[in-house]
Amino acid sequence: MRRPLRFLAYKLELDERQVAELAMVLDTVKTERAQAEVDQRRTTAAYADLLSAETFDDAAATKVTDERVHSAQRLQSAVQASLAKIHALLQPEQRRRLTYLLRTGALRL
């Protein structure tokens, strides 16, 4: 088990089924975050290309900006879907503990 998952399993007193399901949810978010980082690097390079050109291409800049926005929206949707799955997965007391971890900064989204 990875550390964040182990930490949550311990703090929330998850059973084996919950741990397995939470692992899948966290993997999905991890993948989306990694893709967002790749998109960020790619669009940064595209912005650099626009700046190095002889003339500035507004249409190309708009396209790059739209790609960046779309990437952020995909990540937001993945986080929201993951939160819904986690909410359904946890018992009320476990959700209360998770809320405490988030509010105190012991855990970040």
The total domain count for the chain is 1
Does a structural domain hold residue 97?
yes
pLDDT of res. 4: 87
Nearest to 32 by CA among 5, 72, 68, 2: 72
42-73 pLDDT, tens per residue?
999 999 999 999 999 999 999 999 999 999 99
Question: Looking at residues 29-40, what average pLDDT do you find?
Answer: 96
Provide the domain limits for residue 22: 3-104
Question: Looking at residues 69-93, what average pLDDT do you find?
Answer: 97
The enclosing domain of 77 has a CATH number of 1.20.120.1490
Residue 42 to residue 24: CA distance in whole angstroms = 27
Band of pLDDT at residue 2, cut at 50, 70 and 90: low
